[in-house]
Structure 1
Amino acid sequence: MSSSADIKDTSIERGSSTKQDHDERDVVEQTVKPVSKFTRWYRSPLFNVIIVGLISFTQPGIWNALNNTGAGGQQEPYLVNGANSLTFGIMVFGCSLFGILANKIGIKTVLIIGTLGYAPYSASLYVNNRYGTEWFVLFGGATCGIAASALWASEGAIALGYGDVKDRGKFTGIWLGLRELGQLIGASITLSLNVDSQTRGKVGYSTYLVLIALQCLGLPLALLISPPHKVIRSNGERLRGPLSSKKKVLLKDEFRKIWKLFKRREMFLLVPILIGFQWNGTYLGIYMTKYFSVRSRALGSLTSGIAATFANIFWGWFYDLKILKRPALAKICWALFIVVMLASFGWQVANEKLYSSTVPRTTLDWDLPGFGRGFASMVILRFFNESHYMFVYWLIGTFFDDLETLTLAVGIVRSFESIGSCIAFGIGASQVSPMVNLVIAFAMFGLTIPATSFVVFLVPERPVHLRKIEDGSSSEGETEPVAASKTAAAIDGPHP
């Protein structure tokens, strides 16, 4: 059995004949005392990503379940779209701000804040559904905006930054896949409670009570997350950087860093796709409300969740394949997205024209002919919306390696996503025709293609450690840990 001193000596002997070699290979902080296998599992990136996924399941997952029934389950979409516009308006500034605060007060603290505002929003929908109260829906939209800003800024950074580069596709798939579990369970509950409602209208108010109870589980789950400096990777590595140490962080420095990060080509060229890709989500909520029966809307929410879960599982597996280099993989996936999305939008325009011109007014129910056509186009768009999430976060993970930069990058990504969603829900609340909303979404996607294509051609084979580059050190992202096997032995403790 080796003592902690022996391990330190071994790592020095194997890893750094000179101080320069030691710096270039980015030796991580190593433990000085053994820990149990349970502690190593509890502190592992995989466990933390699973917990983040479950938190996402209870918060935005349930939010998605409600909104994918069409306008939060309401009979008319305009009040809910207005509240959602308020939510995303707050997030435009909140996501970047909480990304900066995560480097100041800790990513776990920010995550906990992110679990406090979703339940009031769902409660407001219940009160509105049952008693017709409208101001509470706007208040809930505000609390949801603050919480979502914190949650979105922290959960993505944990999913991307806690694990190794080689596992980022898998971890992103786990995180987003568990988020969709919220939609699956929520939609199943909604469908079971509204299965006999064959007409258009709003879902039963008892639906909200179950979903609110699920959202209250987010806070205790957040308490299980390990702060970065306690995370132990499978090879014994510890995370480094301001997020994983006691180093004092100045807010003015973080603002400077986020602005400097945004000015990099791979970041500001993503702005069009972040703003424009998800505009069809607002249209789909209106589409479901206008043309589908209550039970078909609940079925649509469930089926959308299944499609999104499959997207997360598939792309999480596909992005980690070693068959193709990362630059080639990025080009192939983006070309596929362009072709399928343009075709799907064209199909949806044809559907919208058909249903909007039908007299008497169309009500699509699964017992009626023509249901499959209108339903399938919606599911395909939902699938590729989720694929977009996976693709954007995978792109960010291909460019940057250190947790501090990833946290700031996720804040930027979420802020610009929120700009698009805020404007889209604002248009959705203005009672313009569904066709106008759809055409705008179609045009916005077309505008994202040139800039995103340029970013795709910038994808490197290995991400960079931006903080090391700024400090004048090595720029290689995927470094080998020094004496990883010895470190792992120290963490596990003595073996017989």
Structure 2
Amino acid sequence: MSITEDNGVNHQKKSFYRSVPFQIAIAAGVSFTAPGMWDALGGLGAGGAAEPFAVSAANAILYALFAVFCILAGAINNRIGLNWGLAIGAIGYPLYGAGLYTNNKTATTWFMIFGSVCCGISAGFFWAAEAAIIIGYPSPRERGFYLACWQTAKASGPIIGGAITLGLNANRETAGSVGSATYIVFIVLMCLGLPIALCLSPAHKVWRKDGTRVVVHKHASWGAELQAVGRLAISRRILLLVPAFFISYFYNPFVSTWLTSYFTVRSRAFSSFFTPFAGIFSSFIIGSFLDRQSIFIRTRARTAFAVIVIMLCGTWIWAIILQKRFYDNPPVFDWFKGGFGSAYALVFFWTFTGQAFQQFCYWIVGQYTTDLTSLSHHTGILRGLEALGQTVAWALQSQAQVNHFVSIGLNFGILLIAIIPTWIVVSALDHTHEIVVTEEIITSDNKSDEGEGSLSIPSESRTPNLSGVQLPTVN
């Protein structure tokens, strides 16, 4: 995805402020304060509320908007820059937290709906931008590692938030809503996302330690950007991946309802604190495996996907067994008492395997893109389809009398449907997906049309590494 600099010519000292690790740290910081805190609230079950149904309905609205704006943001962020897309994306999360606070404090639903609408729109920009940054800024051979770092930062939000929640609610042995002070702390942390996002560097100024540069190619107009997204959305590879993208986070709303239905407040607070560690463990395990160059890329992909599918199938079989046990006499588990271990372990492994599956989807997308424009479009579609899945899942959980077996069956069934088409895409990987992608030298007229610092590349062009190509100075 880059041009190689001629290190023999360019001796200018590069600023750490423009380095990949710094950019990943900025993206991770925003992920910690915005969606990380959002996940911390979700880890309480229904945003910490006593009744999950109103919150589930608000989240269904959020994800419906998220699905639409994430796909559009893949094109918009490419025009305005990923740094501005990330900043816009951080705005809506504090409003969502404020909406949950007012609902908890005064049972006001209109502001909770308003916060969900704002968060749904801004989250589309956030995830389309952040996913492109995390996959596109590092070199191809470091993507698994930086994906794991990003997921760790995202998981750290629920860990810190869960520790706060646990401290504020540790004496609450009954089911119900969490204390209002919990929301205040989360809202303050969410507000930090915007100033952190403004520190991100534009893509064309970022340098990598291996001497390569990020390829940036803007289409000639807004219409061309949207047309490119449309063409990609109906391409064979994306259509094959639709079931995998749709199901990758479909389980999350059901986990929220499961926690609210069967666990006390302090047990949910414990889950909010401890469960994110599952995502951290699985992220580094799968990230280190997918980056291992000594194993052929297709073998890595097939092995990782097979293990993830087997583990996911195991969790849903486990869920069926437990749900059958809970059906006639629903329990309320307090921490580390009578049956808590087997019920909570399922939540832990849902997160462990679910996070690995999502990271695998990001990695697959990264292998089939050649420049930041294509990557932005791919990640926008990926997150949009994930959000569409969660829209359906949250809408299902918003029904007060929903049968948990229906949710379990949908999760299990769509997962099985996703196996064969995803396997077809995985089986098409070969070694060319991990070689350095370089620019074709373009005329000055074309370059001026694209804008300063923006370079053009054919969407599927891969050529041998070009040594000796002098690049513009990175500020």
Superposition TM-score, scaled by structure 2 size = 0.90
1:75 equivalent in structure 2? 50
Structure 1 residue 141 displacement after superposition: 0.7
CA displacement at 1:278 relative to structure 2: 2.2
- Aligned equivalent of 1:480: 465
What is aligned with 1:262? Answer: 233
Q: For residue 210 of structure 2, give the secondary structure of its aligned residue in structure 1.
A: coil
Q: 2:300 aligned to 329, 339, 343, which one?
A: 329
Provide the C-alpha distance between the structure 1 equivalents of 2:175 and 2:209, rounded to a whole number of angstroms. Answer: 52
By how many angstroms is 1:313 displaced? 2.1
Kindly indicate whether residue 251 of structure 2 is the aligned counterpart of residue 251 of structure 1: no
> Residue 2 of structure 2 contacts residue 212 of structure 2 at CA under 8 Å; is this kept in 1?
no
Q: 2:246 aligns with which of 275, 288, 291?
A: 275
Q: Distance in 1 between matches of 2:29 and 2:287?
A: 17
- 3-state SS of the aligned residue for 1:69? coil
**Which one-letter code corresponds to 2:433 in the other structure?**
P
1:299 pairs with one of 227, 246, 270: 270
Tell me how far 1:32 sits from its aligned partner: 9.1
- 169, 189, 196: which one pairs with 1:221? 196
Task: Give the AA of the match of 1:480.
Answer: N
Give SS of 1:242's match.
coil
Counting only pairs closer than 5 Å after superposition, residues 279-428 of structure 1 correspond to structure 2 as 279-358=250-329, 361-428=330-397
1:235 CA displacement = 3.3
Tell me the distance in 1 between the aligned counterparts of 2:292 and 2:210.
21
Tell me, in whole angstroms, the C-alpha distance in 1 between the residues paired with 2:20 and 2:343. 41
Is residue 85 from structure 1 mapped to residue 60 from structure 2 by the alignment? yes
Identity %: 32
For 2:25 and 2:336, the matched residues in 1 are separated by 39
Amino acid at match of 1:138: I
Please give the alpha-carbon distance, in whole angstroms, between the structure 2 residues aligned to 1:91 and 1:467: 33
The residue type paired with residue 133 of structure 2 is I
In structure 1, how many angstroms separate the alpha carbons of the residues matched to 2:306 and 2:134?
A: 26
Is 1:72–1:80's contact at 8 Å kept on the other side of the alignment? yes
- Aligned counterparts of 1:368 and 1:97: Cα–Cα separation in 2: 48
CA contact (8 A) 1:25 1:481 kept: no
The letter for the 2-side match of 1:378 is V
**1:387 is aligned with what amino acid?**
A
**Corresponding residue for residue 458 of structure 1:** 428
The 1:109–1:474 alpha-carbon spacing in structure 2 relative to 1, beyond 3 Å, is closer
Partner of 1:115: 90
Contact kept? 2:371, 2:457, Cα under 8 Å: no
CA apart distance, 1:259: 2.1
Summarize the Cα distance change of 1:235–1:442 in structure 2 as closer, same or farther, 3 Å threshold.
Answer: closer
**Cα offset for 1:263?**
3.3
Q: 1:25 to 1:136 in 2, by over 3 A?
A: closer
Report how far residue 27 of structure 1 moved.
5.4
Query: 1:236 deviation in Å?
Result: 3.3
Deviates most, 130-139 or 446-455: 446-455
C-alpha RMSD over aligned residues: 2.7
* Counterpart in the other structure of 1:44: 19
CA-CA distance at 1:26 after TM superposition: 5.0
Moved more, 303-312 or 63-72: 303-312
In 1, distance between residues paired with 2:353 and 2:322?
A: 18
Aligned residues of 1:274 and 1:413 also touching (Cα < 8 A)? yes
Superposition deviation, residue 475 in structure 1? 3.2
Measure, in 1, the Cα distance between the counterparts of 2:79 and 2:431.
31
Counterparts of 2:404 and 2:109, CA distance in 1: 23
Aligned in 2, Cα 1:396/1:104: closer, same or farther, shift over 3 Å? same
Report the residue type matching 1:357 in the other structure: D
* Equivalent AA in structure 2 for residue 482 of structure 1: S
Partner residue in 2 for 1:237: 212
Q: Which residue of 2 aligns with 1:184?
A: 159
Measure, in 2, the Cα distance between the counterparts of 1:162 and 1:236: 13
Q: Which moved more, 1:277-286 or 1:233-242?
A: 233-242
Structure 1: which amino acid aligns with 2:136? G
Aligned-pair CA distance for 1:33:
7.5
1:482–1:33 CA distance, 2 compared to 1 (3 A): closer
Q: For the structure 1 residues 491 and 34, does the alpha-carbon distance in structure 2 shift closer, same or farther, using more than 3 Å as the test?
A: farther
Q: Cα distance 1:255–1:31, how it changes in 2: closer, same or farther (>3 A)?
A: farther
Give the aligned partner of residue 433 of structure 1: 403
Output the CA distance in 1 between the equivalents of 2:77 and 2:471. 29
- CA offset at residue 481 of structure 1? 4.7
Unaligned 5+ runs, structure 1: 1-23
SS of corresponding position for 1:463 = helix
CA distance in 2, matches of 1:461, 1:264: 22
> Per-residue deviation at 1:339?
1.2
TM-score normalised by the chain length of structure 1: 0.87
The answer on whether the counterparts of 2:43 and 2:256 sit within 8 Å (CA) in structure 1 is yes
Paired amino acid for 1:463: H
Which residue does the alignment assign to 1:9? none
- 2:289 & 2:118 partners in 1: Cα distance? 37
- Structure 1 partner of 2:104: 129
Give yes or no for contact 2:92–2:119 (8 Å, CA) kept in 1.
yes
User: How much does 1:447 deviate?
Assistant: 1.7
Go from structure 1 to structure 2 and tell me whether the alpha carbon gap of 1:333 and 1:27 turns closer, same or farther (over 3 Å shift).
closer
CA distance in 2, matches of 1:136, 1:474: 46
Q: Deviations over 1:109-141 (max 9, x none)?
A: 111100100001001111111111111111111
Spell out, residue by residue over 1:372-416, the C-alpha distance to the aligned partner (whole angstroms, 9 max, x if none).
010101110111111111100011111113111101100110111
